[in-house]
Amino acid sequence: MEKGDSSGKKMTTNKTTGFDHVISTPKFKRRKVSVVRDFLPRCGRGATTNLELNRQIAVDQAKLQVERPSLEQSIEELKAELIKVEAKNSVVRVVN
């Protein structure tokens, strides 16, 4: 019988999905991991790793504040240096 025959017999057809090969994804077993972990001191979860850098940064900032001259001091030093250079070059300015 042909496909178009309307007799009482069941008609079977092969339906394809459009894919030649259908591969199912492999199933992996999930392994349970222990919640208790051994961490070294100061190396646990959430531990900071600054290694006391905060103290060193504070000391370095204090050194910078002591060693750095103020703007007024820098201006005065530059004026004094300018006067020395002018004296060496024997430049005389007339001030009104």
Per-residue pLDDT at 96 = 47
Domain boundary assignment for the chain: 53-88
Amino acid at 54: N
Q: What angle do CA 20, 1, 5 make, to 5 degrees?
A: 95
- Per-residue confidence in pLDDT tens, the chain, 96 aa: 555 555 555 555 555 555 566 666 767 777 776 666 666 666 666 655 555 566 666 666 666 655 556 778 888 888 999 888 888 875 455 554
Mean of all residue pLDDT scores within the chain: 66
The CA distance from 17 to 19, in Å, is 5
Task: Judge if pTM exceeds 0.75.
Answer: no
